[in-house]
Structure 1
Amino acid sequence: MLRAATREAVALTGHLLRYPSGIQPEQITDPGAAPPPATEGEGTGAPPVLLLHGFSDNRSTFVALRRSLLDNGWPHVHCVNHSLLTWDVHEAAELLGEHVDRVRRTTGHDRVDLVGHSLGGLIGRCFVQRLGGDAFVRTLVTLGTPHAGTYAAAALPPHPLARQMVPGSDLLGELAGPTGGGCATRFVNIWSEHDLFVLPAHHARLEHPDLAVTNVRVRGVGHLMLPVDATIAAWIRDELGAQPTLFGAAAERAGERAGPGRPDAAGAA
C-alpha cells in the first residue's frame, strides 16, 4: 500500500506538469472521402484506438500510453477531450460517436477500439450500450472505472458528471440494465485493489450478464497510475493486438486475471 501511494504521488506530480499541454483538443483531420478499408489486426492494419480521459482531466493523462501504442505498431491513436462544460455522460457519448465516425472515415476502418480511464470508461459504455456504438467498437478497455459507482464522487465539486458516478445514480442503473440484444463489443476491465478514487475498490469490477467481460485485478497501482504503468500498457497492447493472454486458459475461463503485485504476474513487486 505504501509503494502504491508513493507511485500515485509521483504520477500526480507528473500529471500536473503535463496537464496544460492537453487542454487544447486534438484535431482529427477528416479528408471527406474514405480511403480503402484497412485490414484489421496488429501492426499497420491495427484498428484505430481512441483514448477517453476521466473527470476534470484531459488528453495529457494518456501521453505514456499513446506513445506506447504508437511505438509498437498502432498508426492511429487519438485522444478525445470532453469539456467541464459537458453536463451529462450521454452528451459526452454522443460527442464520442462523432469522433468515432470521423476516425472511421479518416482511416477506412469499420470499427475502432476504445480505452477509457475512470469516467471515460462510463462514457465508452454509454456509447456502446445505449447509442448503438457496439456496431463500431471492437474492444472497450476500461481502467479504474467506477462501474458500480464510487462514494468518492460525492466529495467532488458539485457537478452533474460527478453525481452520475455516485452509487445508485440513474446513469449507473441504466448501464446495469438489459442491453436490449446481443452486444458485439468485447470488454476488458482493469481495476486495482489500491484505487483510492473508486470506493469501495470492488465497485470498479464490471459484471453484466449481457456483456462479454474479462476483469483484470491489479495491486500496487493507484488510480492515476493505471494509464501510465508500463506493465498495464503492455497488457492493453496484448488485448488490442488479439494476442494470447499472459495468464493462461484457466484464469481466462474464470473471468478474473491477476495483475501487478501478485506473485503470479509479470512485474510483480
Structure 2
Amino acid sequence: MLEALSPQRRRLVLGVLAVVALLVLALVVTLVVRAVTRDGPVPQDRPGPVLLVPGYGGRTASLDPLAAVLRSEGRAVTVVDLVGDGTGDLDAQADHLADVADGVLRTSGAPSVDVVGYSAGGVVVRLWVRDHGGAAQARRVLTLGSPQHGTSVAALGAEVAGGCPTACEQLLPDSPLLRRLNAGDETPSGPEWATVRSSADQVVTPTASAALDGALNVVVQDNCPDATTSHYELPADPVVAATLRSTLGAGPMASPGAAC
C-alpha cells in the first residue's frame, strides 16, 4: 500500500506511524508501572518518597514548612505542581497526581509513596487512591484541613458570585463529586489514613468536614488546647509537624501527643 504513495507522502505516513507507536509505547509503560504495584499490599515498614499536594489555587510555596520537616528527617520530597491554575477539575488533578506518582516510583525504585494533601489537595489525593491507581501505590495518606465533605465557604462564594471555578463547585457540600467520593468506604484499603484539622479553621466549615471515617483523625486543639491555628497556618503548625513524624515513619501510625 505504501508503495503506491509518492516518496514525500510515504515519509509523512511513516512519520505519523512512528509517533503513534511511541505514544502507544508510553501508554503501555505507564500501565505496566501501575500494574506492577498492584501485586499486593505495599510494605508498611519501608517509607518511600513523599508527595506533597497543594490546595485550591496550587500555591506550592504553602507546602515549604512540610517539605522542610520531612527533608530534615531524611525523606525525599516531591511537591506536585497542579494542572493549570489549580482551580480546575479535581478528577483531572488526581489523574495528574497518578502520573507524578508513576514517575517518582519509576525513578526512585521505591515500593510506594507517602502522600500529604493540604486543603483541596487532600480531596485530590482521595480521588487518586479511589479512581486513579493510588490504592496500590500509596503506603500512608495524610490530609490537612481538607474539605472532604465540602465547605460552606465554597457554597457562600458560589452564591455571592453566581458561580465559581470547577474545583470550587466540586467542593460544595453534597456536590456530585463528593457524593461519589464519600459513598461507601471513606478510607478504602491500600494505604493507612490520617487527617489533621484545627477547630479554628474558618475556610473549611464545619471543621469536622476534614475528618474521615476509618482514619486517625487528629485535632490540633486536642494536643494544644490554646492553639488558634487558622487554615492557612496548618502547614507550619507544630502539631502538624509532629503528626508528620508520628504517621509517616516506619512504625504504626500514632497520634502525635502534645506538641505546643
TM-score (normalised: structure 1): 0.71
Distance 1:159 1:180 in 2: 25
Alpha-carbon distance in structure 2 between the residues aligned to 1:235 and 1:109: 23
Structure 1: runs of 5+ lacking an equivalent: 1-33, 248-258, 260-264
In our comparison, the structure showing a higher alpha carbon Rg is 2
Q: 1:5-16 alignment to 2 at 5 Å? A: none
Matched, 1:201 2:207: yes
Alpha-carbon distance in 1 for matches of 2:154, 2:187: 31
C-alpha contact 2:49 2:114 (8 A) present in aligned 1: yes
| Aligned residues of 1:86 and 1:92 also touching (Cα < 8 A) | no
Report the counterpart of residue 223 of structure 1 in structure 2: 231
Q: Is the 8 A contact 1:40 1:109 kept in 2?
A: no
1:267 aligns with 2:255: no
Give the 5 Å matches for 1:71-220.
71-74=72-75, 76-82=76-82, 83-84=84-85, 87-156=88-157, 158-178=164-184, 183-207=189-213, 212-219=214-221, 220=227
Aligned equivalent of 1:239? 247
Once residues 70 and 199 of structure 2 are traced to their aligned partners in structure 1, the CA distance between those partners, rounded to angstroms, is 26
Q: Contact (CA 8 Å) 1:40, 1:47: kept in 2 or not?
A: no
Tell me how many residue pairs correspond in the alignment.
210
Match of 2:88, SS state, is coil
Residue 56 of structure 1 aligns to a residue in which SS? coil
Calculate the aligned-residue CA RMSD, in Å: 2.7
Partners of 1:127 and 1:133 within 8 A in 2: yes
Q: Using the alignment, how far apart are the partners of 1:147 and 1:106 within structure 2?
A: 31
Taking the aligned partners of 2:206 and 2:149, their CA distance within structure 1 comes to: 9
Q: What is the CA-CA distance between 1:57 and the residue it aligns to?
A: 3.4
**Residue-by-residue CA offset, 1:155-200 (whole Å, 9 max, x unaligned):** 4471010011110101110111135996211110111111110111
Deviations 1:23-44 (A, max 9, x none): xxxxxxxxxxx9xxxx9788xx
- Sequence identity (%): 32
Amino acid at match of 1:120: G
CA contact (8 A) 1:129 1:179 kept: no
Deviation of 1:72 after TM superposition, in Å, equals: 1.4
Cα 1:178–1:246 change in 2 (3 A) is: closer
Matches within 5 A, 1:250-265: 265=257
Judged with a 3 Å threshold, the aligned counterparts in structure 2 of structure 1 residues 182 and 96 are, in CA distance, closer, same or farther, namely: closer
Please tell me whether the aligned partners of residues 130 and 179 of structure 1 are also in contact (alpha carbons under 8 angstroms): no
Question: Kindly tell me: are residues 145 and 239 of structure 1, through their superposed partners in 2, closer, same or farther at Cα, counting changes over 3 Å?
Answer: same
